């Protein structure tokens, strides 16, 4: 009977072995293929680095003493572009292993001495594969959760956008106002050196800051003349209504302080909570400046837009009373020295 090559079913895991002794490569090839692993053997450590760049491997078995570079140098290069590869180091003798701090720094998961028997190495490989399997499972779950979260977030965003557009459809002033407030707020945030996550909150918070106007009667919202005290009290409910709308979804929790408190005043005479100074959420203080600026520079049914010099004088006058002085100064600097950025925003929303 003629003996042929025995096919061993693959377990789906790919192992690359790097050793400049071809005998070790051949022995591990038989041993690992018999255990169901997909095997790649390389005697040139530089070629191994290129292979890891271009192909996926789950685990690397790596000799320490090689030419032209040692195993720790191989790992050093690999860790520049691959942080996840599970690496086991082989040493001719334990005294030749790299220092423990090097093993930790390069995230080498284990090492063992070379031997004619592969029992210890097999245990390390099996342990490594279990760790890789768990890591892959966690990654898969995280990706599924992220995908679910993103779909949920899109759904809520679409729902709130619908409410926002409903408000804009019945209030000509609001149309474009929220977009400009969003962009002005982000512009202030950038000039104040805020991080990207805060800028994103300012962007979305600005878009939705007036969403509570959906709960204000049309007779008040669309009234062309001066509001009565009772009517003005109704208008003042829109921040609380908006916060309540957004509170139904936890993904909007960062936006609620902006929506609820963009009409607070630095001196404590604003609404709805009469917060004062730094009690007012910082991003809400930024949105308040942007909101007021757009209100002053927008044409209304009862007045034309105000000239820039009057707007700047009003912001200067209201520092420390209506506005946070630091934020007001930052916006005045934009108006005085970067006004082209303001004009660019306004031009995007010319109807």
What is the rounded distance in angstroms from the CA atom of residue 97 to the CA atom of residue 95? 6
User: Is 177 exposed, middle or buried, given 0-12, 13-18 or 19+ CB atoms closer than 10 A?
Assistant: buried
User: Is 343 exposed, middle or buried, given 0-12, 13-18 or 19+ CB atoms closer than 10 A?
Assistant: exposed
How large is the angle between the packed helices 339-348 and 325-337, nearest 10 degrees? 80
List the structure tokens of 199.
């800028």
What is the rounded distance in angstroms from the CA atom of residue 20 to the CA atom of residue 203? 57
Peptide bond into 68 cis (omega under 30): yes
Between vectors from CA 128 to CA 126 and to CA 133, what angle results, nearest 5°? 95
What is the rounded distance in angstroms from the CA atom of residue 106 to the CA atom of residue 80? 10
213 is catalytic: yes
What is the rounded distance in angstroms from the CA atom of residue 124 to the CA atom of residue 130? 10
**Which strands form 110-113's sheet, in the order they lie side by side?**
38-42, 14-18, 59-63, 86-91, 110-113
Q: Evaluate whether 63 touches 24 at the Cβ level (below 8 Å).
A: yes
Among residues 53, 213, 299, 319, which one is catalytic? 213
CB contact burial 317-335 (16+ within 10 A = b; e otherwise): ebbeebbbeebbebbbebb
Closest CA to 131 of 161, 104, 107: 107
Catalytic positions, please? 213
């Amino acid at each position: 009977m003629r003996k042929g090559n025995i096919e061993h079913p693959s377990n789906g895991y790919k192992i690359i072995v790097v050793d400049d002794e071809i005998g070790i490569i051949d022995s591990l090839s038989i041993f690992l293929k018999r255990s169901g692993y997909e095997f790649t053997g390389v005697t040139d450590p530089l070629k191994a680095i290129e292979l890891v760049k271009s192909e996926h491997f789950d685990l690397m078995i790596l000799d320490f003493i090689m030419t032209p570079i040692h195993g720790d140098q191989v790992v050093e290069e690999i860790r520049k572009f691959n942080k996840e590869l599970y690496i086991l180091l082989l040493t001719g003798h334990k005294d030749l292993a790299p220092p423990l701090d090097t093993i930790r720094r390069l995230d080498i998961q284990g090492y063992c001495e070379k031997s004619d028997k592969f029992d210890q190495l097999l245990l390390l490989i099996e342990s490594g594969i279990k760790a890789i399997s768990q890591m892959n499972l966690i990654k898969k779950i995280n990706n599924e959760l992220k995908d679910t979260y993103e779909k949920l977030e899109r759904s809520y965003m679409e729902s709130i956008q619908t409410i926002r557009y409903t408000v804009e459809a019945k209030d000509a002033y609001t149309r474009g106002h929220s977009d400009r407030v969003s962009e002005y707020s982000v512009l202030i945030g950038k000039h104040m050196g805020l991080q990207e996550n805060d800028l994103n909150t300012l962007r979305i918070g600005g878009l939705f800051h007036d969403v509570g106007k959906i709960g204000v009667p049309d007779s008040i919202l669309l009234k062309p003349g001066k509001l009565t005290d009772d009517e003005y009290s109704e208008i003042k409910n829109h921040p609380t209504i908006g916060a309540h709308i957004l509170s139904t979804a936890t993904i909007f929790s960062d936006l609620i302080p902006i929506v609820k408190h963009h009409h607070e005043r630095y001196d404590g005479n604003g609404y709805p909570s009469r917060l004062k100074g730094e009690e007012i959420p910082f991003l809400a203080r930024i949105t308040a400046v942007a909101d007021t600026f757009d209100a002053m520079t927008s044409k209304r049914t009862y007045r034309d837009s105000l000239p820039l010099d009057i707007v700047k004088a009003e912001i200067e006058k209201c520092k420390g009373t209506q506005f946070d002085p630091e934020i007001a100064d930052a916006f005045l600097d934009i108006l005085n020295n970067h006004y082209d950025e303001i004009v660019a925003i306004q031009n995007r929303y010319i109807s």
